[in-house]
Amino acid sequence: MSKEKKTNVLVIGAGITGIQSSLDLADKGYRVYLVEKSPSIGGSMAKLDKTFPTNDCSMCTLAPKMVETSRHPNIELLTYSEVVGLEGTAGNFKAKIKKKPRYVIEEKCTGCGDCIEKCPTKKQNIPSEFDHGMGTRKAIYIPFEQASPLVATIDTENCLHFKTGKCGICQKVCLAEAIDFEQKEEIIEVDVGAVIVATGFDVLAPTMRTEYGYGKYKNVITAIEYERLMSASGPTRGHIERPSDGKKPEKIAWIQCVGSRSGRLGNPYCSRVCCMYATKEALVTKEHDPDIQPYIFYMDLRAYGKEFEEYYQKADSTGVKYVRARPAEVFETDGGDIMIRYEDTYTGEIKEEKFDLLVLSSAIVPSKSNAELSESLGIELDENGFFKECNVVSDPMESSKPGVFLAGCSQSPKDIPDSVAQGSGAAAMVMDILPKPEIKPVQQIAEKVMQSDEEPRIGVFICMCGKNIAGYMDVDKLSEFALSLPNVSHSEILMFACSQDAQGKIKKAIESKDLNRVVVAACTPRTHEGLFQDTIREIGLNKYLFEMANIRNQCSWVHSTDPEKALEKAKELVKMSVAKARLLEPLSQGQIEVEGSALVIGGGVSGMSTALALAEAGIKVYLVEKKDKLGGMLNNLTTLYPSDVKAQDVVDKLVDEMQKNKNIDVLLNTEIEEIKGYIGNFEVEVKEQDPLYKNFEEPLKVGTVVIATGAELIDPAGIYGYGSSPKIITQYELEEMLKKGSFPKDAKEVLFISCAGAREDKGRTYCCRVGCGTMLRNAKALKKLNPDLNLFVLFRDMRSFGKREEEYYVDVQQNYGVKFLRYEKDQKPEVSVDNGVVTLRVHDMLLGDDLEFKPDLVVLTTPTEGQANDIAMMLKVPTSKNGGFFLEAHAKIRPLDFATDGVYVCGSAHFPKGVADAVAQAIGAASRAAVPIFERIVKGEAIVSDVDQEKCIGCGICVSICPYGAMALDDGKSQSNKALCKGCGTCASACPMFAIKMPHFTDGQIFEQIKAAIGKSGGA
Amino acid sequence: MADEKFEPKIVAFTCNWCSYAGADLAGTSRIQYAPNMRIIRVMCSGRVEPNFILEAFQQGADGVCVLGCHFGDCHYISGNYEANRRMELLTKLFKHMGLDEGRIMIEWVSASEGERFSQVVNKFTEQVRELGPLPEGYADKIALLRGAIEGERLRIVLGSTKRAFDSGGVEEEKYNNALFDIARDEIDRVKMFKALDKADAPLTVPQFSEMTGIPKMTIWRHVLSMTRKNILEAVGEEHHYMLYQRRAV
């Protein structure tokens, strides 16, 4: 295989995970084949209404990534396709991909939707897969409005042409001639060096829980179905209507763990996301309509992630009713209401409650295609049907076959940020085994130089969009009008402005009429601007000399009943675009050369994993650790939950690999003194110098920085009497004993208390995320050591959410004789010390009794806290509200990045986490940090702020307002860093002196648009 | 003409990522709504200057709105908060000057809220239609307001809001009240400058008061403050009152 082919990568599945893997690889120069079995990319995230814990609109955050993916020059999208075979070995695979016929030619279809409108199939009969059957579609369909690629697909099962041979209306109405009934299935073969499996999950249709009535009662639905009801773009446009009669429900119940946490009743594992999505659905419902009363029936509320506990508390105080109970059965009453019969955990009583709608928090289950895919790829499945990783703790992303990697829910259920982290992580695993791609210089024709006094010669191109525009307004009149506007020297009508032949026509007109500005009146710049910009660039025009008028989405489609008004408005929209175009200026992107090295701060398991992943890709790494040895928190631990792997073995292996790798320099006993600079060119000075440091040029120069500073143990003084007796210790002290073998042999009774100093009302409000696991594994260790030990675990919610964790919990419960006692927030255990005797009192909820113990040891499960401050100040990155952790760029889709480019975060510095999640983040952060280094030259945005040094008074307002750290005062004047600026323009509008110019959205351009819009001037 | 329905002209500034996308979705969903609004796309609602809005009124718009991402959704993290601050102040000032604050609006529309977009457009269009065409003297008041809002002093205090709140220890309500007071002062001062321009001669405090309608005590305060800051200077006297004019730069 040629070297070039070795840098090809196959990514299977185009949900958020596969998208992240693809973008990470494509940005590094790898050629990605992104295969998606459904007609559009976007996966499950596209179906969600909001995302927890920020209540962000899911589509708002996903859609820009979808557009980026579909327009990336290094990504080849193969939608409606499936991988059917894989031969060869790592570095030399040959993959077979089956491309299913859409019966629509992708290159020709413009997504206008004429065919869908005219398709005679009865809409009510075909359930929409995208809406999980809550909505319907026709036989020819686009799954959702933001679909990418935006092309139609024919489903032959319902299509009249395929059923009876008689129809064919879509073919007749398609002016783009995109319908092809003769299309055949194709098998494509591609050579790739590595494979990433990001096939996501299915949602269980919980029909086997017959007692809950799914499939039997109309008003029992699953949470993903409810999600579609909530979605503003869903079948009910976001109005909550129950399926039986469309009535607005007043009481809605959620039942948790449907099909999960029970091997007998579905699956043994915890589905990990349901507690939070149910909380989100309930909270958003309540916020949207305070008259609706949501109830959540649950056993353990697993709010384990960053800001999750706070979100849960918010839902609780907003009026979501949490009922700790196991619903026994559900039945329908008159009028379609749903009666739930449940056991009250507090009283043991059987209660009944009536609801208008029941939502089942149905488990995430392995994708149906997993079994077949595991055959095709030759990789193993685990006992539940997810893909099997090499090691659940230390190698979560390696499959059983070298060169094939796992990411996201294909490996186990997980939420969006954990999936994204693995998506990046898998991309890093690929970069570590494949050669570095050669970056080919892009051949482009030289840009025409424009004189500043050159008269604008504007060409206006009016798209008919088949009938989507031309059917609702007189485009000839519009074209005539355009030509009458000042500086317009050409106007032309195109059938489909986005088609290939139209690009040729636009170029021809630019040449023959010597146009220097182009306006396309068509659809939305959000999807089509890039295409037209490329076209005009190809003929030598600067791509910023382009403007669009959105006469379809803002005009013909929304004023289709009033052609006169539509034409009137279209004229004004064109006039506004022309007015702006007159003042458009050519722009260019700033460029920064990137140092080929990286700094990793922190030498725990996260820092080491990041350093190794970077170094194995050939990147020089400096790792700085303030302590005298590597290993971080793992040095305190015995085994790594939920396995019995020894922590020391994992540390030793990593340290050994670090020592062998020539690309890594480790500086121990070293703290960072100062970091200056920005992406591509950071300068790092350290204090407490390691002797090794003297060998380096001073200061260290690096292109990117990864923060892996972890978290620290809290001072437990005063918590449950800690400090007043040697019998009250922390889990870490217990582990110390276990490691040294100093656990008292005569101890008869030991009590663990969860959430000691965590999940508080004020202060450390967060869940420590790892405490439950720590309790479980230490309980197991103690009972192994002394099976006769009377061991009680006092807990609030058992949060064993990760892969194999629930199984581990069940094992400890069933096979080790550990007693579990639940306590509630307002009935915490009381610990007192009198004459060296420790007494612990706790209310047993099941027995309804107050229990008293005189244990030999009380072990407190305390949280960790972040240490973000100094480093955060130096790098000008933000920290979280709670706990001193670093605050990532976006809780969902950018968990490893900061708003400031070139700086990344992973592991417990982001939020406390177990080793599996920390490793995934760490390797993911390596991928993120490697992107600019692979690119070698980072291109900034072209639309960047520009400070007029004469006008600037150095007030620093822009510095305080810029979220990207792109503004800095230098010598009393503000300077804009073109590499960091993202072009929002907020600084320009805040500057008291009007000293900041925002190109492409200048005051002058906007004033001209205003004038044209109101109609006083700006044209004919 | 009286029975013909008044069709207001409305300008909307929408951010690229959420509200413009919401408008696109309203289109793809073929939701019909009032055709009065003209959208000007900016990358972020944080780009919208108060003077964009005032310019639109000066050009003859009957209503102007800003549409951005919901809080927390901003593609640029916090731009919509800045937009909101500016609109809050502008709304107060509209009220203060009797400018029908119903003619301006800031709203949040996400990329998936096509229907909401159309509702927002319809609601605002109807609201402005109810208010009718711009009343006489509207343009003058807008010009006054523009003079104030483009002034350095007000812009510094407005722009520093985030910094003040981030630093902690600043009560939001107090800060916002102070901001409003400064804005009112600036409007007074613009009126005083206009009086000077109109008279084309230095003026005394009573003359200022008479020409602007601002109480004498308030004028005194402005005169004292502006002479101290070298904005005004005394150049003689008339009827036992000092005459003031703008100090030449």
Mean pLDDT of A821-827: 92
Taking an 8 Å cut-off on Cβ atoms, the answer to whether B31 and A576 are in contact is no
What percentage of chain A carries pLDDT values higher than 90? 82
Query: What's the CA gap between A756 and B232, in Å, rounded?
Result: 66
Nearest to A569 among B35, B40, B150 (CB): B35
| B182 within some domain | yes
| pLDDT > 50? residue A642 | yes
Give the confidence band of A803 by pLDDT, cuts at 50, 70, 90.
very high
Report the pLDDT value the prediction gives residue A688, as an integer from 0 to 100. 67
Cβ contacts of A961 on chain B, cutoff 8 Å: 78, 82, 159, 162-163
B196 and B95, same structural domain? Answer: no
Put simply, whether B32 touches A (Cβ < 8 Å) is: yes
Alpha-carbon distance A515 to A578, whole Å?
A: 13
Q: Are residues B159 and B73 in the same domain?
A: no
Chain B residues whose beta carbon lies within 8 Å of the beta carbon of residue A546: none
Q: How many CB atoms lie within 10 A of CB A126?
A: 18
Which B residues, 120 through 159, put their C-beta within 8 Å of a C-beta on chain A? Answer: 150, 152, 155-156, 158-159
Return the half-sphere exposure (C-beta side, CA atoms, 13 A cut-off) of residue A778.
31
Q: How far apart are CA A92 and CA B234, in angstroms?
A: 88
pLDDT the model gives residue A661: 96
Q: Which residues of B touch A524 (CB under 8 A)?
A: 20, 24, 27
**Minimal C-alpha gap between B242 and chain A (Å):** 32
The reply to whether B228 falls in a domain is yes
Among residues A587, A581, A551, the alpha carbon closest in space to that of A462 is found at: A551
Whether the Cβ atoms of residue A1013 and residue B53 lie closer than 8 Å to each other: no
The pLDDT of residue A438 is above 90? no
Query: A780 is written with which tokens?
Result: 């197991």
Furthest CA-CA distance within chain A: 100
Å between A577 CA and nearest CA of chain B: 9
Contacts of residue A89, Cβ cutoff 8 Å, sequence gap at least 6: A402, A403
Residues B184 and B219 both lie in one domain: yes
DSSP A264: T
Residue B197: count of CB within 10 angstroms of its CB: 9
Answer whether B56 sits within 8 Å of A1014, measured CB to CB: yes
Q: Which of A119-133, A380-394, A705-719 has the lowest mean pLDDT?
A: A119-133
- The whole-number pLDDT of residue A907 equals 97
Contacting A residues, span 514-553, partner chain B, CB-CB under 8 Å? 524-526, 550, 552-553
> Does residue A492 carry a pLDDT above 70?
yes
Can you give the CATH number for the domain in which B76 is found?
Answer: 3.40.50
ipTM of the complex: 0.96
**B143 domain residue, yes or no:** no
CB of A902 closer than 8 Å to CB of A678: yes
CB contact under 8 A, B38 and A960: no
Cis peptide before A699 (omega within 30 of 0): yes
Amino acid at A180: D
Averaged pLDDT of chain A: 93
Give the domain-ending residue among B133, B159, B193: B133
Q: What is the pLDDT of residues A840-898, one digit of tens each?
A: 999 987 777 899 999 999 999 999 999 888 899 888 888 887 889 999 998 999 999 99
Confidence (pLDDT) at A879: 87
A990/B51 Cα distance (integer angstroms)? 11
Asked if residue B91 belongs to a domain, the reply is yes
Residues B126 and B196 in one domain: no
Boundary (domain end) residue, out of B68, B99, B133: B133
The pLDDT of residue A3 is: 59
pLDDT at A689: 66
Collapsing DSSP to helix, strand or coil, A389 comes out as coil
* Residue B141, domain member (yes or no): no
pLDDT for residue A1018: 38
The answer to whether residue B189 sits within a structural domain is yes
Higher pLDDT among residues A737 and A699, named by residue? A737
Nearest CA in chain B to A571: B38
What's the farthest any 2 CA atoms get from each other in chain B?
A: 72
Co-location of B121 and B162 in the same domain: no
Distance CA A357, CA A379 (A): 42
CB pairs under 8 A between A and B: 208
Q: Are residues B105 and B16 in the same domain?
A: yes
Contact criterion met (CB < 8 Å) for B73 and A1016? no
Task: Identify the burial level of A816 via C-beta atoms within 10 angstroms of its C-beta, where 0-12 means exposed, 13-18 middle and 19 or more buried.
Answer: middle
**Distance between CA atoms of A415 and A280, rounded to whole angstroms?**
13
Q: How far apart, in whole angstroms, are the C-alpha atoms of residue A219 and residue A251?
A: 12
The verdict on a CB contact (< 8 Å) between A1001 and B162 is no
Answer yes or no: is pLDDT of A443 > 70: no
pLDDT digits (tens, 9 = 90+) for A298-324: 999 999 999 999 999 999 999 999 999
Domain shared by B126 and B14, yes or no: yes
Task: Please tell me whether residues B127 and B157 are part of one structural domain.
Answer: no
Residue from B161, B202, B166 nearest B182 by CA: B161
pLDDT of residue A1020: 38
Give the confidence band of A978 by pLDDT, cuts at 50, 70, 90.
confident
Q: Long-range CB contacts (< 8 A, 24+ apart) of A339-345? A: A340/A253, A340/A255, A340/A297, A342/A297, A345/A845, A345/A846
Domains: count for chain B? 2
Token pair 């790594």 is found at: A640
Residue B122 and residue B17 share a domain: yes
Range B160-171 burial, b when 16+ CB lie within 10 A, else e:
bbbebeeeeeee
Whether A1001 has a pLDDT exceeding 90, the answer reads yes
B108 and B31, same structural domain?
yes
Q: How far apart are CA A510 and CA A494, in angstroms?
A: 15
**Which residues form the domain of B100?**
10-133
- The C-alpha of A137 sits at a distance from chain B's nearest C-alpha, in angstroms, of 13
| Residue entry with tokens 């648009």 | A1009
| B139 in a structural domain | no
- The CATH number of the domain where B208 resides is what? 1.10.10.10
pLDDT, tens only, A310-361? 999 999 999 999 999 989 899 999 899 999 999 887 777 899 999 999 999 9
Confidence class of residue A440 from pLDDT cuts 50, 70 and 90?
confident
Six token digits for residue A660: 């062998």
A345 touches B at CB < 8 Å: no
- The answer to whether residue B144 is domain-embedded is no
Amino acid, res. A1016 = K
Say if residue B27 is in the same domain as residue B90: yes
Q: Which of B73, B103, B133 is the last residue of a domain?
A: B133
A1001 touches chain B (CB under 8 A): yes
Side-chain half-sphere of A372: how many Cα atoms within 13 Å?
8
- Which stretch of A268-282, A547-561, A681-695 has the lowest confidence by average pLDDT? A681-695
CB atoms within 10 A of CB A441: 6
8 Å CB contact of A56 and B44 = no
Q: What is the pLDDT of residues A201-231, one digit of tens each?
A: 999 999 888 899 999 999 999 999 999 999 9
Strands A546-549 and A92-99: unpaired
Do B159 and B166 meet the contact criterion of CB atoms below 8 Å apart? no
State the smallest CA–CA distance between residue A299 and chain B in angstroms.
31
Contacts of A847 (CB under 8 A, 6+ apart): none
**Of residues B44, B73, B116, nearest to A232 (C-beta):** B116
- pLDDT-derived band of residue A446, with 50, 70 and 90 as boundaries? confident
Under a CB-based contact definition with an 8 Å cutoff, are residues A974 and B64 in contact? no
Do B63 and B17 lie in one domain? The reply is: yes
Per-residue pLDDT of chain B (249 residues), as tens digits, is 444 789 999 999 999 999 999 999 999 888 999 999 999 999 999 999 999 999 999 999 999 999 999 998 888 989 999 999 999 999 999 999 999 999 999 999 998 899 999 999 999 999 999 999 999 999 999 999 999 999 999 999 999 999 999 888 889 999 999 999 999 999 999 999 999 999 999 999 999 999 999 999 999 999 999 999 889 999 999 989 999 999 886
pLDDT at B166: 86
For residues A653 and A660, is the Cβ–Cβ distance under 8 A? no
96-125 in chain A: CB under 8 A from chain B: 113
